[in-house]
Structure 1
Amino acid sequence: MKLLLCLTFVAAAQAAIVPAVDASGHFHPTIPNDTQPEGKNHTINGVLTYVSLPKGEFDPTTAVLFLTDVFGLPNLDNLLLADQWAAAGFQTYAPDYLNGDALPPDGNVTAWAVNHGEAQTTPPLLAVIKALKDQGIKQLAATGYCFGGLYITRLVQNNTITVGTMAHPSNLNVPTDFQLMKEVSHIPIEINNAQLDTGFTPALAEETDTVMGDGQYKPGYFRRQFDGVGHGFAVTANASDPVAVAAKQGAFDTSLAWIKAHLK
């Protein structure tokens, strides 16, 4: 845990190259979704956590850690996406590492971020990870979206998880974070990015490739770009837009295949 915090402060000292995208930069459905989440909220090591379990048999020693975007557990789409991971056969845990203070759909992410730095959000995340490992989880796959992408990066840098994926990450330092990853990590990582993202732009994605691609990152690296969609596409899609719907499903399918390929 100390190593994770140490790397956090080192990274924080660098200029933030990938900006957080404000709430207005995300797609927010205007038609209510009547689908009910299938998981339940539990308190794990003092941290509220949404837990979604497969309906059939599953490996009790393997789990998916789901790190939400800034809208956190109040966002139904995050819960339904966690359920999708459970439906794929993994016990899935989405900790409230936002400490009960998710960004409202009309919130200002710049003001909100003041109280949601790594110093505030890392401790609850580590508390849940410790509890999961204490209860017998031996393989922990982690997937993070937007805000969660930074924490996937930290967990990979610290070799805390078994395999990681992220979609349209924010708050990363490119290329510094990936140079550090290449130097110290042995965890495979996959990234889904959006052509129209104003945060992790295609240019930054390509800069990441210059560090990680072409076999440079020995543990395994893959990036897939989805055209015609913007930031947040892997979490929420406009149901009337077939491109957006296909991109969201494609990001999930790509992440799922990556995780399955790197679990024992």
Structure 2
Amino acid sequence: MKFLCLLPFLAAAQAAVVPAVDPKEHFHSAVPSAVGPQGKNVTINGVLTYVSLPKKKFDPTTAVLLLTDVFGLPSPDNLTYAPDYLNGDAIPMDGNLTTWIVNHGEAQTTPPLLAVVKALKARGIKQIAATGYCFGGTWLYITRLVQNNTVTVGTMAHPSFLNVPTDFDLMKAQSHVPVEINNAELDTGFTPAVALQTDAVMGDGQYPPGYFRRQFDGVAHGFAVRANASDPVQVAAKQGAFDTSLRWIQAHLKLAEAAVAYR
């Protein structure tokens, strides 16, 4: 693993659009049958949402919003408040991303996401930490939520569909939300080269609210969501991304105690 933030600008860097990664190129792993969801599906403001609350005492004014990758709520790896912003149409593991994405643009996915955010705030939640994976780290999702100051703190892992440096230039221009990125050495979308372009815009103190990026070597797109339990590199990377995101969230939320929990 390497910590690759606050790096100097690369003179040869040019704008890049981070492409989608085919479902077949994501890490996929069988989840042991003994492992089951710890939360439940409820409807919030008309949107099906997976909710998992801490078993111990917690701050009811703080919430973690999880924006899934394209595999949506059916994935057993989901945690905390996870809105079905895919409208019940998650892509199957062997699905065709080109045809699927036509019905999952901002016009279709923005309303359910913002409906849940609005409802959480109406319930008295004052701080929202948002974390997104792949599709969930892009467009109006973590990137837009941070750009528009809709959430308190943001983290994303192996994001796609970003325009670098445009999306981060906009973030710098109007946001006061700290943001953290976990990326993979072998990602064919948000590649290490694109990650360095992002650092050139956000690193070295250029983004006062706070920016950090951590690269995990030996893993590919999807590593922060699922891992092969028999591969110690994958397991360590997934756990490392979780720990890094959790520390970032805890550092940027006003908490009476470390009560933020993903499970």
Q: TM-score, normalising length from structure 2?
A: 0.89
Aligned partner of 1:161 among 151, 159, 172: 151
- TM-align CA RMSD: 1.2
Which secondary structure does the structure 2 equivalent of 1:142 belong to?
strand
Give distance in 2, aligned partners of 1:177 and 1:24: 27
Say yes or no: does 1:20 pair with 2:20. Answer: yes
Which secondary structure does the structure 2 equivalent of 1:37 belong to?
coil
Aligned partner of 1:221 among 192, 211, 222: 211
Q: Deviations over 1:167-215 (max 9, x none)?
A: 0001111110000000000000000000000000000000000000000
Larger deviation, residues 250-259 vs 23-32: 23-32
Give distance in 2, aligned partners of 1:20 and 1:182: 24
Percent of aligned positions that are identical: 80
Preserved contact between residue 63 and residue 141 of structure 1 (Cα < 8 Å) = yes
Identify, as 1 or 2, the structure richer in helix.
Answer: 1
Alignment-derived partner of residue 233 in structure 2: 243
Alignment-derived partner of residue 257 in structure 2: none
Which structure would you say has the larger RCO, counting Cα contacts within 8 Å and 6 or more residues apart? 2
Alignment-derived partner of residue 38 in structure 1: 38
Structure 2 unaligned segments of length 5 or more: list them.
1-14, 255-263
Larger deviation, residues 221-230 vs 106-115: 106-115
Larger deviation, residues 212-221 vs 105-114: 105-114
- Superposed, 1:137-148 pairs within 5 Å as 137-148=125-136
Say yes or no: does 1:100 pair with 2:88. Answer: yes
Give distance in 1, aligned partners of 2:105 and 2:204: 33
Aligned partner of 1:257 among 247, 252, 255: 247
Preserved contact between residue 160 and residue 190 of structure 2 (Cα < 8 Å) = yes
Which secondary structure does the structure 1 equivalent of 2:17 belong to?
coil
Alignment-derived partner of residue 175 in structure 1: 165
Alignment-derived partner of residue 185 in structure 1: 175
Query: Displacement of 1:110 after TM fit?
Result: 1.3
Structure 1 unaligned segments of length 5 or more: list them.
1-14, 83-91
Preserved contact between residue 16 and residue 194 of structure 2 (Cα < 8 Å) = no
Aligned partner of 1:111 among 82, 99, 102: 99
Which secondary structure does the structure 1 equivalent of 2:103 belong to?
coil
Aligned partner of 1:135 among 105, 108, 123: 123
Give distance in 1, aligned partners of 2:107 and 2:166: 20
Alignment-derived partner of residue 120 in structure 1: 108
Change (3 A) 1:141 1:21: same
Query: Displacement of 1:77 after TM fit?
Result: 1.8
Which secondary structure does the structure 2 equivalent of 1:20 belong to?
coil
Alignment-derived partner of residue 230 in structure 1: 220
Give distance in 1, aligned partners of 2:168 and 2:47: 29
Which secondary structure does the structure 1 equivalent of 2:77 belong to?
helix
Moved over 6 A (4+): none
Say yes or no: does 1:51 pair with 2:39. Answer: no
Preserved contact between residue 16 and residue 171 of structure 1 (Cα < 8 Å) = no
Larger deviation, residues 104-113 vs 62-71: 104-113
Query: Displacement of 1:259 after TM fit?
Result: 0.4
Q: TM-score, normalising length from structure 1?
A: 0.88
